[in-house]
């Protein structure tokens, strides 16, 4: 009997042949999760990062794009676009939110997603972009081709989560969203995150 090994979700799965137009997303957490799960970079298994604080729960499917990394290229672009000093990327894979009409009950899955925009988020001065995408083939959300097609209330809900999910009400906020950007800039961020990955971790895929 042959032994098959599970691919590492970050290093062993590709971003997709059609990236950045369509990307593979590895989903870590879903809206029903009261625990924030995060990929363990060494083993590739999901681990518990922390309980979600208060009633703050992710409004969408949330995870990352495999074989991406937020480092020099991503930080440079964030600095150019925001006009702020951005010393570095946050040192993690590029985060992605995937909108879907249908309920997905658990993470640790792969989803084909179509990027339509993103948030330029600075976390204590580090670039920590959040790509916004729609699930490929979704009957409702596929009508949204750019973040400008989304109702402002939907974007505000996502913004609120990322601005507050790490903090208690009494704590000083260190997360800031400098811009909400559209599809074209999202594609550029993804390309840069893929380039950062190749620079730092390309040996995993050779």
Average pLDDT over residues 139-150: 94
Residue 7 has pLDDT above 70, yes or no: yes
Query: Roughly how many angstroms between the first and final C-alpha of the chain, as a whole number?
Result: 28
Burial label for 1, CB within 10 Å (0-12, 13-18, 19+), is: exposed
**What are 54's strand-pairing partners?**
none
pLDDT given for residue 174 in this prediction: 79
Burial status of residue 8 (CB atoms within 10 A of its CB: 0-12, 13-18, 19 or more): middle
Q: Which residues contact 34 (CB under 8 A, 6 or more apart)?
A: 51, 52, 57
- pLDDT for the residue 58: 86
Tell me the whole-structure pTM to 2 decimals.
0.93
65 near 94, Cβ under 8 Å?
yes
Q: What is the pLDDT of residues 163-195, one digit of tens each?
A: 887 766 656 677 899 999 999 999 999 999 999
Query: Residue 20, preceding bond cis, omega within 30 degrees?
Result: yes
Q: pLDDT for 19-69, tens place per residue?
A: 999 999 999 999 988 888 899 999 999 999 877 766 678 899 999 999 999
Report the pLDDT value the prediction gives residue 165, as an integer from 0 to 100: 75
Own/partner pairs for 172-179, CB < 8 Å, 24+ apart? 174/123, 174/124, 175/121, 175/122, 175/123, 175/124, 175/128, 176/121, 176/122, 177/119, 177/120, 177/121, 177/122, 178/78, 178/81, 178/82, 178/84, 178/120, 178/121, 178/122, 179/81, 179/82, 179/119, 179/120
Tokens of 105: 């009950």
What is the DSSP code string of 147-188?
Answer: GGGS-HHHHHHHHHHHHHTT--TTSPP-EEEEEEEEHHHHHH
Asked if 161 and 143 touch (Cβ cutoff 8 Å), the reply is no
């Amino acid at each position: 009997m042959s032994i098959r090994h599970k691919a590492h979700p970050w290093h062993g799965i590709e971003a997709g042949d059609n990236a950045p137009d369509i990307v593979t997303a590895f989903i870590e957490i879903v809206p029903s999760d009261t625990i924030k799960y995060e990929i363990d970079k060494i083993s590739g298994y999901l681990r518990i990062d922390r309980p979600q604080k208060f009633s703050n729960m992710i409004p969408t499917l949330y995870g990352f794009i495999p074989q991406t990394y937020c480092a020099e290229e991503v930080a440079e672009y964030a600095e150019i676009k925001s006009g702020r000093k951005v010393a570095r990327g946050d040192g993690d894979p590029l985060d992605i939110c995937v909108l879907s009409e249908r309920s997905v009950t658990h993470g640790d899955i792969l989803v084909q997603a179509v990027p339509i925009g993103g948030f330029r988020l600075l976390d204590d001065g580090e670039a920590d972009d959040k790509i916004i995408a729609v699930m490929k083939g979704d009957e409702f959300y596929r009508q949204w081709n750019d973040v400008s097609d989304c109702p402002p209330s939907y974007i505000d809900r996502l913004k609120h989560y990322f601005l507050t999910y790490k903090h208690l009400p009494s704590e000083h906020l260190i997360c800031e969203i400098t811009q909400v950007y559209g599809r074209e800039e999202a594609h550029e961020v993804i390309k840069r995150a893929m380039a950062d990955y190749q620079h730092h971790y390309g040996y995993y895929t050779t």
